[in-house]
Amino acid sequence: MENLNPDFLKEKYNLHNAPEVGAAAKRTEERTGEKVPQNPKDQIQNYLDRFTEIIERKEPGKRERGIEAIKRVIDDKYIIKPEEIPESYYENQRRIAREQGHGDVEITDEARNQLQEVIIKDQKDSLDNWIDYLSSKDATYPDWLKYFAIRNLLGMGEYDKEKKQFTKRSKGTVKPFPDINREALAYVLDAIEKKHKGIPNDKDPEFQALLQGENFAKLYAWAIDKATPESEKGLTNIKGEWVKYRQGKDHMPLVESLQGHGTGWCTAGESTAKAQLEGGDFYVYYSEDKNGKSNIPRAAIRMQGDEIGEVRGIGPDQNLDPYIGDVVKKKLTEFSDGPKYEKKVADMKLLTQIENKTKLKQPLGKEELIFLYEINNKIEGFGYQRDPRIKEVIDQRNPKEDAPIVFECQPEQIAYSEKEIKENTKAYIGPLFKNIFQTNIEHIYTFFPESSIKKMEAEIGGKTKKELMKEMEKNKVWISNYAKSMIDNPDFTTSKKQEHLNLVRISVKDLGFPNGAKTDKIYKKAQGLGLELCPAEVGPQLRLQYLDQPNGDWFYIGMKQISDSDGDPSVFDVFRNGDGRLELSDIDASPDRRWSGSNEFVFSLSRK
């Protein structure tokens, strides 16, 4: 990544004198034995290089750990703490309840905790969206511009649509961080970069005046207002044509065709479009406007070499809009790797069908509910984030009424506490208790439908280390060097005797730690529920026996830690990336390592 302008950060923020920059220089000296020059430019660049090194790591496990560490540092400093939530917020909740006819509602400690959890989670999710995007391959901006964007974002409140501006963020702000609009962001960062390169910019006088002040919040608000999305009525017309922009050709015709249409695509930015066209061809489908001209961008297929890099639409979070799915599906048949995108097209089509039935107040069947609640598989779309229609439809339903349909049982066959469990209980929804997994209950949830406890199986034993490695190679499993070093470690052993294991896949949140917990607490809680640590060979064995793992799915093996080649006490990570590659990696699982509530572990059922 080309590092263009650390001087910009020196002049704007006096960054070279910041404590974190000095600490970064000290860490570099300790790690390399080489002293970082004292001049401001080198000090700042050394600080930025640390982030660049993390996001460009080739091993997914190491990269993920680094990015999670960055998130933790930022979260700890900028996400509101429970004690910082102002009392006026709770008073406002009481007022809303009274206005809705609930009378004078007392905000109990339990209610406060629930409200605090929602506020903190929303802030974390909204901030993580920015970090995830700016650390992705799609964000081709120089590192100093990424720092500029994040630093300013941390001081921004919500967007006022009437005033077309962002409020300022204070210590007691309960609102999430602003949504990320990739098109608007690309427009702003391109403009800043051009200005410092001496390249002419947008001639709009209002924008030029804002650009001189380099106020990110004002520039971003202006760009959001400019990127106006197409109306729902206009989207029903799907007649149009595909246009191919060839690899290595001038990127400006592509940029100019997108700007001002509100696609939300970062490709509307010049630097991003140029970088993407250098990587492969770019296809855009344009539907006709009211004059019959095909100039409204609706979907895009970006190639990375000879393979599909991504598919994007103009729906929320760049998912396909409800009308364009068949057009994209037909186009994908022209590419050799198009079939792997068929599930996404099918999912979007079924979600649209469910959305339409919901609008017409028609009942949903078992299979539709299983799909909607993502009980067996995640709904896959083409956007960066989960399709918002899922939540919109679910918010209109009553999970307690849907549960008997999903489980094909009577309402009385569902227990919501340990005391309610009977001989004919088919499903349990509630807090976990000791030895619950040794019962014959078919479905176990802590909350329905979002928190299902999955039972798995694995065969272990009968294979040597070399045989495991050879079989993974045969099945085209990518194994990180650190995972290989764990298998080579004498502490990693395989059993000569074959054995069938019943396993439980469970999240840290479902173990009772919604805000996350350290490794030793997670292990202790699991063992208290009647679970055991897995033998180490469960990692590679389960990798071989779970070849149909969904894309983007991963979990960690709850096992006694084994040192990797760096000496870190690690566990295995069973992962399938977004491109479908099966992986076996590792992750540091030191006893005091803190995990998020969404992290999932696999433990063994007690064999006693």
pLDDT digits (tens, 9 = 90+) for 196-227: 888 887 778 888 888 888 999 999 999 888 76
Contact between 267 and 185 under an 8 Å Cβ cutoff? The reply is no
pLDDT confidence bin for 11, thresholds 50/70/90: confident
pLDDT score at 2? 43
- Residues with Cβ < 8 Å from 575, sequence gap 6 or more? 60, 61, 553, 554, 582, 583, 584, 585
| Gap between the Cα atoms of 197 and 371, Å rounded | 50
Q: Is the pLDDT of residue 238 over 60?
A: yes
Q: In whole numbers, what is the pLDDT of the chain averaged over residues? A: 88
Most confidently modeled range among 82-86, 113-117, 160-164? 82-86
CB 416 within 8 A of CB 429: yes
Q: What does the pLDDT read at residue 600?
A: 95
Phi/psi for 16 (5° steps) reads -60, -20
Q: How far apart are CA 319 and CA 297, in angstroms?
A: 13
* Mean pLDDT (whole number) for 406-416: 95
For residue 57, the 8-state DSSP code is -
Q: Please enumerate in sequence order all residues whose Cβ is within 8 A of that of 368, keeping only pairs 6 or more positions apart, or say none.
A: 350, 354, 357
Q: What is the pLDDT of residue 373?
A: 94
CB 557 within 8 A of CB 513: no
Nearest to 442 by CA among 397, 402, 399, 406: 406
Arithmetic mean of pLDDT, 7-34? 84
Burial 262-299 (b: 16+ CB within 10 A, else e): bbbbbbbbbbbbbbbbebbbbbbbbbbeeeeebebbbb
pLDDT of residue 3 exceeding 90, the answer is no
Asked whether the predicted pLDDT for residue 108 surpasses 90, the reply is: no
Mean pLDDT of 405-431: 95
Task: Over range 533-545, report the average pLDDT.
Answer: 96
User: 171 and 77 in contact (C-beta within 8 Å)?
Assistant: no
pLDDT at 227: 65
What are the structure tokens assigned to 16, written together? 């070279």
Cα distance between residue 576 and residue 386, in whole Å? 18
pLDDT above 50: residue 142: yes
Q: Is the peptide bond before 449 cis (omega within 30 degrees of 0)?
A: yes
Q: 330-368 burial string, b = 16+ CB within 10 Å, else e?
A: ebbeebeebeebeebbebbebbbebbeebeeeeebeeeb
Indicate the pLDDT class of residue 607, thresholds 50, 70 and 90.
low
Helix, strand, or coil here: 94? Answer: helix
Predicted local confidence at residue 62, as pLDDT: 74
Q: In this predicted structure, what is the pLDDT of residue 493?
A: 95
Nearest to 147 by CA among 6, 37, 341, 251: 6
Confidence check: pLDDT of 410 > 70 = yes
